[in-house]
Amino acid sequence: MAASGIAALAYGQGVDIDYVDATSGNWRETVSTAVPNFEPARSQLEARRQARQAGERVRAALNAEAYFDPTIDFAITSEDPPRPRLRVDPGPRFAVGEITVVYDGPAPDEAEQDVLADSLQLASGDLAIPARILSAERALLAKLRTLGYAEADTAPRDVIGDRETAEIHVILKLRAGPRIRFGELLVPDGLKTSTDYINTLKLHQPGDLYSPDILTRFNRRLAETRLFTRSSARLAPSPSEIDPETGDEIRDLVLEMVERPRHTIAVGASYSTADGYGLSSEFTRRNLTRSGDVLEAQLNLAELSRNLDIHWRRPNEFGFGRGLVFSTRLSDDTTDAFDRQSIRVGSALEIIESPRIAWTVGASGEVLSETGPLGDRDLQLLFLNGGLRLDYSNSLLDPTQGWRLDSTATPTYVFGDESTRYVRLGGQASAYLPFGEDDRFVLAGRAHLGSVLGAAVSDLPSEQRFYAGGGGSVRGYAYQAIGPRDDENAPTGGRGLTELSLEMRWRGSGRFGAVAFVDGGSVSEARLPRMDDLSLGAGLGVRYQTPAGPVRLDLATPLNKGPDDDPVQVYISIGQAF
């Protein structure tokens, strides 16, 4: 015979509970959590209403934990004010007994039924928790759809309880519907995008068995092209034919899509006391040849640099995720380290393994004329380019969690007034860790390392050397201010680069946020990065959220201030520093 005892609850809940001891499950916590938080009753009638309501909540909570035969009695105390009291005996905890799967209408063949039985996430003897039974039913339905039954659905299940054995016998009912195979891809008339290009995005051939995963991934690929403001692929509601061998329905795939405007114009601006003012404009033409290609032209005008970049991207040129990029760059740079005019042309193969992993392999050539510490030089350069990008962050312009890694290797041959060979290596990693209430704080870190192998500093074109300092490098210092200098105090650059950054970011409930940061960097003539001679800068910043990303205003001061360093640098731009 079970013994009983009283466990006191907080008085503010307004209900006393008399627990009857049981040997299975942590059911007391389930009961106490389910009891409503009542105000003191003003009458016996109100106390009875509270008791009934509390009893209903407790019964539902116990049922959810597989206690399907509880005994719940209630009484009203004689004190003033009166309090409801429940006496709860949960009874036995029920287990799953027999499990039967039946089909309403035509059933899959025996082999498919065996596959479904093996995938059933429920077994005799498991606790008969309703949520687990529903989850097993949903998983069974999802598995049935992967076998080609696109219109599979459930019918009301039967659940039979046995008090004597404390078991629940479950009968799951499925409507399989017809097995479906993919037919033709039906593309709307009047699209600028060619049907041939859209066909490169699909993952199936006519006659393939329907798969919800294939359909989902195809829709994702359509969205990732950024050619459409709205796009969806769905099965036609009726079959176009019946497969004579299998009897399966052939359903065409119907596309519904609205194309984005083919032209986009964007403008931007930046400012820093180190780099001066900057203006930028960008023109984008989509679907230039109706094959998903994108032509981008970007013009940047700043006090230290003027350049025009043109990129023509032809995605999926050699199958999905294998695209070509053709590029041209004209630049005119006027810095403390060098004056330089150049033109570069190149092409690259972009290999997109997934939205988070991408490779680049390419080649380019450059003709340049420069004036620097070594005098005037006219040079020609040939590059081979290789790069890997991993992006496991959650945003391009304002990441709050995850990490990124970019690495490049560029073998280069230089000829003209001078001749040399070298390999330029670079790698940057950043990570973002949210914490605090509602993840309002983010700890962000960045490490950027670079090295040139195979040539002395004097043999390198000025722009191929490493420099540090400025808004995208070490804040608090002027552009190119960190590193070796010549006898006239002009930066000479180096072969080894180290940059480190740490930020504490805070975002308020509105559009404004703040950041505190420390940057460090060094440039050395040695070929390997060094950590023993870092120039440090620190500061504070403000962020204002816009649909295009955060606008940032940073104020920084050099911690290793030299005679030529200003006490404060100001930076204004769009997007986080990294």
Question: Got the DSSP string for 220-266?
Answer: HHHHHTT-EEEEEEEE-SS-SEE-TTT-PEEEEEEEEEEEPPSEEEE
- pLDDT tens-digit readout, 424-444: 999 999 999 999 988 999 999
Is 17 within a domain? yes
Looking up tokens 């039979």, which residue turns up?
160
pLDDT band at 532 (very low <50, low <70, confident <90, very high): confident
Question: Is residue 434 domain-shared with residue 451, that is, in the same domain?
Answer: yes
Neighbours of 196 (CB within 10 A): 10
The pTM assigned to this predicted structure is: 0.72
> How far from each other are the two terminal CA atoms of the chain, in whole angstroms?
68
CB contact at 8 A, 104 and 174: yes
Q: Does residue 559 register a pLDDT over 70? A: yes
Is 16 within a domain? yes
pLDDT at site 13: 64
- pLDDT tens-digit readout, 67-116: 999 999 988 988 888 889 899 999 999 999 999 999 988 899 999 999 99
Give the span between the Cα atoms of 279 and 302, in whole angstroms.
Answer: 6
Looking up tokens 């094959």, which residue turns up?
291
CB contact at 8 A, 210 and 180: yes
CB contact at 8 A, 280 and 307: no
The residue among 60, 89, 118 that closes a domain is 89
Give the span between the Cα atoms of 155 and 107, in whole angstroms.
Answer: 13
Question: Is residue 444 domain-shared with residue 524, that is, in the same domain?
Answer: yes
Phi, psi of 215 (to 5 degrees): -65, -40
Q: Does residue 3 register a pLDDT over 60? A: no
Q: Does residue 417 register a pLDDT over 60? A: yes
> How do 241-242 and 228-235 pair as beta strands?
unpaired
Is 48 within a domain? yes
Is 267 within a domain? no
- pLDDT tens-digit readout, 163-186: 999 999 999 999 999 999 999 999
Question: Is residue 558 domain-shared with residue 539, that is, in the same domain?
Answer: yes
Question: Is residue 48 domain-shared with residue 190, that is, in the same domain?
Answer: no
pLDDT band at 274 (very low <50, low <70, confident <90, very high): low
Give the bridge partners for 247, in sequence order: none
Question: Got the DSSP string for 373-397?
Answer: TTEEEEEEEEEEEEEEEEE-SS-SS
pLDDT at site 6: 41
Could you tell me what percentage of the chain is helix, strand and coil, using 3-state DSSP and rounding each to the nearest 5?
Answer: 15, 50, 35
Give the span between the Cα atoms of 143 and 216, in whole angstroms.
Answer: 15
pLDDT at site 68: 94
Is 189 within a domain? yes
Question: Is residue 70 domain-shared with residue 127, that is, in the same domain?
Answer: no
The residue among 213, 242, 259 that closes a domain is 259
> How do 241-242 and 535-546 pair as beta strands?
unpaired
Question: Is residue 394 domain-shared with residue 515, that is, in the same domain?
Answer: yes
pLDDT band at 281 (very low <50, low <70, confident <90, very high): very high
CA dihedral over 320, 326, 332, 334, signed as positive or negative: positive
**Under DSSP, is residue 399 helix (H, G, I), strand (E, B) or coil?**
coil
Question: Is residue 349 domain-shared with residue 454, that is, in the same domain?
Answer: yes
Q: Does residue 8 register a pLDDT over 70? A: no
CB contact at 8 A, 202 and 185: yes
Is 9 within a domain? yes
Give the bridge partners for 270, in sequence order: 278
Mean pLDDT, residues 483-512 taken together: 92
CATH number for the domain spanning 540: value is: 2.40.160.50
Q: Does residue 10 register a pLDDT over 50? A: no
Neighbours of 294 (CB within 10 A): 20
The residue among 89, 120, 146 that closes a domain is 89
Question: Is residue 451 domain-shared with residue 531, that is, in the same domain?
Answer: yes
Give the span between the Cα atoms of 145 and 150, in whole angstroms.
Answer: 5
**In 3D, which of 359, 466, 482 has the Cα closest to residue 422?**
466
> Looking at the 3D structure of the chain, how many domains does it have?
4
E-only strand ranges, 460-561? 496-507, 512-524, 535-546, 549-558
Q: Does residue 161 register a pLDDT over 50? A: yes
* 218, 321, 351, 359, 385 from 356: Cα distances, Å: 17, 12, 11, 10, 20
Question: Is residue 254 domain-shared with residue 385, that is, in the same domain?
Answer: no
Give the span between the Cα atoms of 492 and 372, in whole angstroms.
Answer: 8
Q: Encoding tokens for residue 160?
A: 């039979």
Question: Got the DSSP string for 305-347?
Answer: EEEEEEEEEETTBTBTTEEEEEEEEEEEEE-SS-EEEEEEEEE
CB contact at 8 A, 9 and 84: no
Is 306 within a domain? no
Phi, psi of 463 (to 5 degrees): -75, -15
Give the span between the Cα atoms of 131 and 135, in whole angstroms.
Answer: 6
Q: Does residue 196 register a pLDDT over 60? A: yes
* 418, 474, 493, 527 from 452: Cα distances, Å: 17, 20, 11, 6
Question: Is residue 351 domain-shared with residue 445, that is, in the same domain?
Answer: yes
* 136, 193, 484 from 289: Cα distances, Å: 49, 8, 49
**In 3D, which of 35, 36, 44 has the Cα closest to residue 81?**
44
- Domain hosting 161: range is 95-175
CA dihedral over 450, 455, 461, 462, signed as positive or negative: positive
Question: Is residue 373 domain-shared with residue 475, that is, in the same domain?
Answer: yes
Among 287-291, 446-450, 484-488, 534-538, whose mean pLDDT is lowest? 484-488
Question: Is residue 422 domain-shared with residue 549, that is, in the same domain?
Answer: yes
CB contact at 8 A, 495 and 526: yes
CATH number for the domain spanning 8: value is: 3.10.20.310
Question: Got the DSSP string for 133-154?
Answer: HHHHHHHHHHHHHHTT-TT-EE
Burial (CB count within 10 angstroms: exposed 0-12, middle 13-18, buried 19+), residue 208: middle
Is 288 within a domain? no
**In 3D, which of 203, 204, 185, 105 has the Cα closest to residue 149?**
105
